[in-house]
Chain A
Amino acid sequence: MSFLTVSKVHHTYFSSKTATEALQDINLTIEKGEFVSFIGPSGCGKTTLLSILAGLFQPTAGEVLIEEQDVFTNADLSIGYMLQQDYLFPWKNIEENVTLGLKLLNKNQEESSKVASNLLKDVGLPPVEKKYPRELSGGMRQRVALARTLAVDPKILLLDEPFSALDYQSKLKLEDLVHKLMKEYGKTAVLVTHDIGEAIAMSDRIFLFSARPGRLHQTFVVPEEVRRLTPFEARANPSYSSLFQTIWKELESLEHQQTS
């Protein structure tokens, strides 16, 4: 039995005027400790699928199981979710932001602040516990958001384009950091991205979705020699380029089908 199983998931958004089919018959499995990416043209429902994995809402049909428990009905399953922007609470200082999840779980405050300072160190930040989010740069804030997500020790990390709002340099650094931490902590992670290069550099497997309605089009396995490298080094590997070309062509043909 796989760590995470998505079986026969359909999802349709309803409004008073339209019913939009966002996902159609999605079936996939993810193993423990694996890092996978969802890529595809816009409108392929990858963010919808991520929200369903997070248990934020129930799919119209089908189910998502993590260690054989349904993610929607088991509220105590701990899932980490990182958004495009950091969404740190501006009225809380950094420590209060990082320990937010622990506070909601009624964890001991002293322990929580210890967890926070260790995590801030792990994500490569100087001691900024007492500062407020507005005093930090975008890259630092996203690191704090990562620490906040990791603080509750989630079973799985869902990353919704967390690097897309950053400048290129911060993005590369953060990719390396997330990649390293996931391997160290042995966490399972799902990354949604527009960036083919990022998907190849970080993942073990890549799921390519087609749009309207969102369907799983193809799965790519990243070659072993690229996986062993950090995302930054991976970009210089010859296998990286060839896989990039393959996925690029596949995406092009998908978009071509759509417009014709």
Chain B
Amino acid sequence: MNINKLHEEFKANLRKEQRWVRFYQLLILVSFFVLWEVASALRWIDQLIFSSPSKIIQLFVEKIADYSLFYHSSYTLFETVLGFLLGTLVGTILAAILWWSPFLSKVLDPYLVVLNSMPKVALGPILIVALGPGMSSIITMGALISVIISTIVIYTAFRTVDSNYLKVLQTFNASRFQMFKEAILPASFPTIISTLKVNVGLAWVGVIVGEFLVSSQGLGYLIIYGFQVFNFNLVLMSLLVIAIFATIMYQLVELLEKKLIKSE
């Protein structure tokens, strides 16, 4: 029996399985686009509504050449990243305030429930009137949509930290701020990271809806404009660009998660 050899075999099997997973993932992707192209070319589906991959790519190249895609996506990306960071940061700060004052958290409890269940995008028109039809109201929308749920989830994480850690700190006469810094916050990092993951998706919803309403620039604007002039090539292309960016953002959060957990 050779342990090393067995280990090599085991690793080879793992690699083999991984290759097959990748293969099928790629297969689904390629067949989806091929089927779409063929269905569109043979008129199985309405070209006007469902477009086709070749047309989308053609438009994509065109929009890159005249820099307009770069212009619109940079707006949307900036707004989304800012809304996402703001939503999580403000959510964490609000959660910290609630943890700080148990009395306040009891008082505010029903309001949080109401605010959480209310569809935040419905506030869009008010935001636009209040903050003007520009970037600031779109960023606010991106943040607003995630801030309440972040507050609730992170506050719950703060509260469920094992009280014995606090007891240890209390015997060292730690202040409430020191307890927060030394135990509550670091113990809740995993939860904060998982809220970040949820907030990536939420921020995109908020920003795209915001751009629908403001309708001056951004990928949301391209979608609503494409809809109004019945150019579904433009709508689908914007959608694909959004999917790519959202995936990249999610991957970055996962990378952050791995980094933080490794240092623990």
How many residues on the B side are at the interface (Cβ–Cβ under 8 A)? 18
| With contact pairs A89-B183, A91-B186, A104-B178 given, residues A152 and B167 touching in the complex (Cβ less than 8 Å) | no
Restricting to A73-87, which residues have a CB under 8 Å from any CB of B? 75-76, 78-81, 83, 85, 87
Determine which of A83, A100, A104, A105 lies in contact with B164 in the assembled complex, contact meaning CB atoms within 8 Å.
A83
Contacts of A79 in B (CB 8 A): 171
Chain A residue total in the interface (Cβ 8 A): 21
A104 touches B172 (CB 8 A): yes
Complex interface: chain B residues within 8 A of A89 (CB)? 165, 182-183, 186
Known: A100-B182, A104-B178, A132-B264. A87 touches B172 (CB 8 A): no
The interface residues of chain A lying within 8 Å CB-to-CB of B189 are: 91
Give the residues in chain A near B186, CB-CB below 8 Å: 89, 91
A81 to B174, CA, bound (A): 14
How many Å from the CB of A84 to the closest CB on chain B? 9
B residues near A172, Cβ cutoff 8 Å: none
Cα A105 to Cα B170 in complex, Å, equals 12
Which of B162, B165, B173 contacts A104 (CB under 8 A)?
B173
Asked if B169 is at the interface (CB within 8 A of a chain A CB), the reply is yes
Known: A89-B183, A132-B264. A56 touches B165 (CB 8 A): no
Q: Are B165 and A76 in contact (CB under 8 A)?
A: no
A80 touches B171 (CB 8 A): yes
A75 touching B173 by the CB < 8 A rule?
yes
Which of B168, B182, B187, B264 touches A83 (beta carbons < 8 Å)?
Answer: B168
Contact code string A84-124 (vs B, CB < 8 Å = 1, else 0): 01010111000000001100110000000000000000000
Residues of A within 8 A of B164 (CB): 83, 85, 87
Name B179's closest neighbour in chain A (CB-CB): A104
Contacts of B168 in A (CB 8 A): 81, 83, 87, 100, 148
- Residues of A whose CB lies within 8 Å of any CB of B are 54, 56, 75-76, 78-81, 83, 85, 87, 89-91, 100-101, 104-105, 132, 148, 152
The 23 sampled A-B contact pairs (Cβ below 8 Å) are A56-B167, A75-B173, A76-B173, A78-B173, A79-B171, A80-B171, A81-B167, A81-B171, A83-B168, A85-B164, A87-B164, A87-B167, A89-B182, A89-B186, A91-B186, A91-B264, A100-B169, A100-B172, A100-B182, A101-B172, A104-B173, A105-B173, A148-B168
